[in-house]
Structure 1
């Protein structure tokens, strides 16, 4: 997608990428950010895969807890903490795959909470997944 910004500068917009780690049968590892760069070599079989995760902290009005838990579950989230700050607000902490939050997670979160959610995250560890 091409856009023209102020002063006639052309901007190229792309979908963000996430670095994955793949391990082959010979125990060699490779970090890949673009799926096209993953070479499928007949002599090498992928034996393990890891993806980056984040620990997300979400503060929301209590009435939105159910829909936010559903959103995080749909995004393969793993609940770490669920507490009430006071009678009106809840704090949720989830481990989420980075790729599940980089495109539209924040917009969806704001939409289902009528704009009242706060969202912060920090890098966490790589977690294995099945392909």
Structure 2
């Protein structure tokens, strides 16, 4: 009986894992940066200062990862796009710029708005 109980538990666990995988949405990025601007604004409105701080952390992570990828592609001569100086503005300033962009175009993907902001930064020297 104990064997069947364990087997049934294992099958149920596998079912849950596979069911969630089949219904999950495919995202280019996770968290705030993986959603639409409208969702980002809704979360900021719902959670206030905490939501804005969390968005700032997400922005830092996204810009650092994106910039690192661009730099590696440039150093490997796979792209001529240069990495940027991503600390030209404070996280608070970038967050406010992103909120402005998202408010203006709520259907835009948040990561697209962030890439548009990233493009305005000066090229890094390396």
TM-score clears 0.5: no
Query: Normalised by the size of structure 2, how large is the TM-score?
Result: 0.26
**Taking CA–CA contacts closer than 8 Å with sequence separation of 6 or more, which of the two structures ends up with the larger relative contact order?**
2
Q: Considering fraction of residues, name the structure with more strand.
A: 1
Q: Considering fraction of residues, name the structure with more helix.
A: 2
State the structure with more CA Rg. 2
